[in-house]
Chains A and B, each alone.
Chain A
């Protein structure tokens, strides 16, 4: 399974990963629209991102959520009816939703954020 692994001890809370993610998926530098969420209210920072546990897959009524051959949970937006049931069942609060975006969104372990991280606090691994 391909997954974005986090190393909070290395995180310096620069939020570069959030910028990279939101810019890639929403063309906006807006942390609210990032699939990875860094909270510097904690020390070390809390790093919230999907662990590909697949709990959401079983909850989706339209089967818009599926698992690809790398073990990554993918959302097919054309099938999504925006019910947000996946958001509610996510055990790590990593299925994201935000103002003005009708469909939920999540980390698909693309790795773009890892390239922006100055401290190697995030890494794509295969488990």
Chain B
């Protein structure tokens, strides 16, 4: 490729000390400024790393009124002190943040692949990318030489499954060293729509292809392309067991080995991550009426048998070392080999498809009425290579299919696309339109919140109905679990800072199935602890899955099995083994609480993040339509009797629905009260200065923003 060098920055290579480089890389693709910034003790103490560093850097870079497409918006990618160790499963995560085009507030994504560890071992604790380039560029970090370069990018193909591979081959020293290069890219859809992602590659030595993991939520790909960036490339060839320079490698290795053995012994009978990844959940969710079907109307349908995990097991190549970072024995990133799409520009060409994972199988399958696993695989492939988020695509497509069913949309409005439930051809055509930048796909690609406004304004649709069925909060589409029967999960979704993603809290089984958190106080405690505990993964550069998608054999006998105490202790142990700093399970939560509250205040600074923004659509809470109520009338009628002491006999369905709705909405309000109090926030959802002081996040800029709302 004939590239012109636009800017170059040389830096000294230095070994990492106990998980930290103590410097971050600043790049302005508009002005071509490239500099190194020191990491202060304050940053480490208060922000730890990973998402904490991202948010701290972004806070300095943006203004109160910065929009996603302003030049000062940043894309930050950070890794955390534990990131890149090759001993403990799930230790290769990057955390991406930016001001989202969907929400206008910071979004954070936790993503695998080799880019993060390699960028970290190249000498950086975080990358901070700002500005907009007038011409298309790629950024290249050579961690072997100590250079950062910005090149022109005359490349024709930017769809990730091809582009990532091309760049890996271009920048690798030789054909036998492809595994030392990793690429961040997106795809053609990111030039046109907002529901986009970034792909982080890793070279699969066995398959000899670039595999792709997604920083999926919130439109990161759109910001990337708006900045004129086609790709980030990193090369690092020196990986060893001690590259992260831990203070106690023996403990780190032995703790990792303990978990490897646990996985080897237990995975086949627990979650089967090694066999089918997170798609093992499909029938479990369907059995418990939790699998989203037809835009979250139902949680169970007989047709869902078509998406049983065995269908995916049969498609996934078995027996491969499918970890997205070295040392992950959970090996959940499954792939379909030699898949031949039946539509689109790559029709008939054999490709490797990463996934589907559960979210994709549910979002691009059952939730839009598709029950053929191969259709899901094809949607998954095109989403990834075009740079589209499978979760937002699924939820947005489900929304327009329900609008089509209700007559809000018709063939004339969709440009001839028959958006009936389960029409896989139409769903795929929406995707191709997003990639081509044309047709109704452009509307769907704006996301559910924008579509609600468009359909009300242009098509005269009832805004209240659109609000009820449009599964978004804060502008972000819901991920793929039914929360109607779990009040705690309604909070888990809707109180999540970036928008309704399950990575803060997944409490459905604790709450609905096992009834372990019956009171508001119990639920509030869970909605405090779990979001804080899970935030810790994002500070350290870790994956959540090895925490509780494998459990010690005696976990059920412990006092708090939902927390998986032995694994919590593992994290304490590996943190100490790497950083040499004191740690216990209380300090873990405190580390998270500082950053969590910082992110909360950051959202407020950008205009969201208070109680008024924490409201779910009613579809997330209960039955919107008579059809939904009647489909589970025994349950809902039973609840009227048991919870409200109201006899449903003699009442119309509409009356019963109204009573149910009033009750559930009131319950949710009470939940918010309880959670805010537990988190140290006012009833309006604003962190109190006293609480910020108590947790050590009372830095002046935070206090200044909070003071505006107190």
- Interface, chain A (partner B; CB < 8 A): 58-63, 80-85, 87-89, 97, 99-100, 102-103
Contacts and interface: CB of A to CB of B under 8 A. Distances in A.
A83 B326 contact: yes
B257 A88 contact: yes
23 contacts: A58-B319, A58-B320, A58-B321, A61-B321, A61-B327, A62-B179, A62-B205, A63-B205, A81-B327, A82-B253, A83-B260, A83-B327, A84-B87, A84-B256, A84-B257, A84-B260, A85-B327, A85-B329, A88-B260, A88-B261, A88-B264, A100-B250, A102-B249
Contacts of B242: 82, 102
Closest 9 CB pairs of A and B: A82-B241, A88-B260, A83-B327, A81-B86, A88-B261, A84-B257, A61-B321, A83-B86, A88-B264
A61 B239 contact: no
B708 interface: no
A57 to B, nearest CB: 10
Given A61-B327, A99-B250, A83 B256 contact: yes
Contacts of B261: 88
Contact of B87 (A80, A82, A89, A103): A82
Nearest to A91: B264
Nearest to A89: B264
Nearest to B325: A61
Nearest to A85: B329
A81 B257 contact: no
B697 to A, nearest CB: 36
Q: Which one of B242, B253, B323 has the highest number of Cβ atoms from chain A below 10 Å of its Cβ?
A: B253
Interface of B: 86-87, 179, 205-206, 239-242, 249-250, 253, 256-257, 260-261, 263-264, 319-321, 323, 326-329
B489 to A, nearest CB: 34
B91 to A, nearest CB: 10
A59 B86 CA distance: 14
A83 B321 contact: no
Given A61-B323, A102-B253, 20 more contacts: A58-B319, A58-B320, A59-B329, A61-B321, A62-B205, A81-B240, A82-B86, A82-B87, A82-B253, A83-B86, A83-B326, A84-B256, A85-B327, A87-B257, A88-B263, A89-B260, A89-B264, A97-B257, A99-B250, A102-B240
A57 B86 CA distance: 17
A60 to B, nearest CB: 6
B205 A85 contact: no
Contacts of B326: 61-62, 81, 83
A87 B321 contact: no
B86, B179, B263, B320: most-surrounded residue (chain A CB, <10 A): B86
Given A59-B329, A89-B264, A102-B242, A84 B323 contact: no
Contacts of B257: 84, 87-88, 97
B581 to A, nearest CB: 23
Nearest to A58: B319
Nearest to B202: A61
Given A62-B205, A63-B205, A85 B250 contact: no
A97 B258 CA distance: 13
Contacts of B320: 58
A62 B205 CA distance: 8
B245 to A, nearest CB: 13
Contacts of B327: 61, 81, 83, 85
Nearest to A81: B86
Contacts of A59: 321, 329
A74 to B, nearest CB: 16
A39 B250 CA distance: 25
B433 to A, nearest CB: 38
Contacts of B205: 62-63
Nearest to A87: B257
A99 B321 CA distance: 26
A103 B319 contact: no
Nearest to A83: B327
Nearest to B85: A83
Nearest to B262: A88
A61 B326 CA distance: 6
B114 to A, nearest CB: 11
A99 B251 CA distance: 10
Interface centre among A61, A84, A99 (most CB of B within 10 A): A61
A60 B87 CA distance: 13
A80 B239 CA distance: 9
A79 to B, nearest CB: 9
A38 to B, nearest CB: 23
Contacts of A60: 321
A59 B206 CA distance: 11
A89 B256 CA distance: 13
A85 B206 contact: no
Contacts of B328: 61
Nearest to B260: A88
Contacts of A88: 257, 260-261, 263-264, 329
